[in-house]
Chains A and B, each alone.
Chain A
Amino acid sequence: MNINEIGTPLIQVQNLGKKFGDMEVLKDISVDIYKGDVVCVIGPSGSGKSTFLRCLNRLEEPSGGHILFEGTDIVDKKTDIDKHRQKMGMVFQQFNLFPHMTILKNLTLAPIKLQGKSSKEAEEQALKLLDKVGLKDRANAYPNQLSGGQKQRIAIVRALCMNPDVMLFDEPTSALDPEMVGEVLNVMRELAEEKMTMVVVTHEMGFAKEVATRVMFMDGGYFMEENEPVEFFENPKNDRLKLFLSKVL
């Protein structure tokens, strides 16, 4: 029993499927994500982890099933997905900061244009969050002047500036130099401590073990095993998971 399971789930994934042509990448996936959950999704490459995450905000169009986000089925074509995406922050492996804007512009663009905040209001919030990740002095720099770790911290702040209800992380440290992984994981750890709901696709087993409330193992388009972290890593049941863990740990 998950301690967070109170009330209705924030995200309910029901029988989610995704095909690319004839290739079935996700097969009939159902999972509930509750407020305050930190769900880490691990698995071998090509297992469908990123596709699963990208289906959650419909960057990939699901081929079947339903995703209820705060009670609304966002797979339904009639749903205004743009509205709901404002509540789902996303962080990418390649950062995807906007190179033609300063950091501050990167952070305030969406709040100003989409939430109707004044630039003063948006900037105040952005600077506050920048300060929290230790990058306030870079507010007027351009993305290309920053290191990978700094860029990713900014990307996290950019998503946070929209005050999302859930944060989706797509292998946020995979494109980083090893010495920069820690600074990004620290920001994510703080976020988890503040009870942000997070879904994290990652290869960082240490992070999953330490921060996750639930860890899920994906292979071949299914979730093969799901458990709270201690049990998941110390007492795996699925053979494929055992094999996977023996290789990565």
Chain B
Amino acid sequence: MWEKLRDDFYQNFIVDDRWKYIVDGLQNTLKITFFAVLIGILLGFVVAIIRSTYENTGKLKILNAICSVYLTVIRGTPVVVQLMIMYFIIFAFHDPGQIFTAILAFGINSGAYVAEIFRSGISSIERGQFEAGRSLGFNYAQTMLFIIMPQAFKNVVPTLANEFIVLLKETSVAGYIGLQDLTKGGDIIKSRTYNAFMPLISVAIIYLIMVMVFSYLVTLLERRLHKSEH
């Protein structure tokens, strides 16, 4: 049994430096996830502000309508289809690189979910907080920035973390545009060695470890943020 495992390991990772598929793939997965998260947060933040402002004040009507279309389309279609549309249609004649395309597609996708998370966070703050800010003389934007957003952010940290865990795992479909991410790396090894167990289980374990480490960091952050609620 151990003999066989050791042999499998040797075949799948050591021969021809096949471990490089995993390491290169992991790098791409992390790169895509990291930058997609940044785009997602930025986009989600802007969209949430626009939507909340419209809900509270009735201003920004046209921007709000655009945001609604964005949310409906992105949340109503599979991310892998969005990724392929981005690569094979939108960038059909001008290839900015697969990684860049993937970052953009996953970022835009994540932004829609993050926007709804932020918006629910903002509307979870009671109206009295907003009124207290305004009554001191803060304008709408200052009240949002100093009083509403910090509390809203604190409330949505667990949901937000969950969204990023989902995003990390969703990037595993990046192989559809011929990009070699972690999943694709394992897949390539499998096709070379005709052995599914070792590469795929290894890939799964790597995802699992990343999610567990990330979840642990989020727990630490949450604990810090909730210091004020003894």
* Residues in A lying within 8 Å of B, measured CB to CB: 57, 59, 82-83, 85-86, 88-90, 92, 94, 96-102, 109-110, 113-114, 142, 144-145, 158-159, 162
Q: A59-B134, A144-B228 are in contact. Are A109 and B146 (CB under 8 A)?
A: yes
Q: A109-B146, A142-B228, A145-B230 are in contact. Are A98 and B129 (CB under 8 A)?
A: yes
Interface secondary structure of B, over-half rule: helix
B3 within 8 A of partner (CB): no
Determine the chain B residues whose CB is within 8 A of the CB of A83 once the complex forms: 137
B136 within 8 A of partner (CB): yes
B135, B138, B147, B154: the one contacting A90 at CB < 8 Å is B135
Q: A99-B229, A100-B228 are in contact. Are A113 and B138 (CB under 8 A)?
A: yes
Determine the chain B residues whose CB is within 8 A of the CB of A100 once the complex forms: 150-151, 154, 228
B128 & A92 in contact (Cβ 8 Å cutoff): yes
A86 & B136 in contact (Cβ 8 Å cutoff): yes
Determine the chain A residues whose CB is within 8 A of the CB of B147 once the complex forms: 98
B55 within 8 A of partner (CB): no
Residue in A closest to B136 when the chains form the complex, CB atoms: A110
B228 & A99 in contact (Cβ 8 Å cutoff): yes
Residue in B closest to A145 when the chains form the complex, CB atoms: B230
Determine the chain B residues whose CB is within 8 A of the CB of A96 once the complex forms: 128-129, 131-132
B154 & A92 in contact (Cβ 8 Å cutoff): no
Size category of the binding interface on chain B:
20 to 34
A158 to B154, CA, bound (A): 23
A110 to B143, CA, bound (A): 10
Residue in B closest to A90 when the chains form the complex, CB atoms: B135
Q: Which of A90, A92, A110, A159 has the most CB of B within 10 A?
A: A110
B135 & A113 in contact (Cβ 8 Å cutoff): no
B139 within 8 A of partner (CB): yes
The 8 closest A-B pairs by CB, nearest first: A86-B137, A96-B132, A90-B135, A96-B128, A142-B228, A110-B136, A85-B137, A82-B139
A88 & B135 in contact (Cβ 8 Å cutoff): yes
A90 to B136, CA, bound (A): 8
Contact mask for chain B residues 130-170; partner A; CB cutoff 8 A; 1 contact, 0 none: 01101111110010001100110010000000000000000
Residue in B closest to A83 when the chains form the complex, CB atoms: B137
Determine the chain B residues whose CB is within 8 A of the CB of A82 once the complex forms: 134, 137-139
Can you report 25 A-B residue pairs in the complex whose CB atoms are below 8 A from each other?
A: A59-B131, A59-B134, A82-B134, A82-B137, A85-B134, A85-B137, A86-B136, A90-B135, A92-B135, A96-B128, A96-B132, A97-B132, A98-B132, A98-B147, A99-B151, A99-B228, A99-B229, A100-B151, A101-B228, A113-B138, A114-B138, A142-B229, A142-B230, A162-B136, A162-B137
Determine the chain A residues whose CB is within 8 A of the CB of B230 once the complex forms: 142, 144-145
Determine the chain A residues whose CB is within 8 A of the CB of B132 once the complex forms: 90, 92, 96-98
A82 to B143, CA, bound (A): 11
Residue in B closest to A87 when the chains form the complex, CB atoms: B137
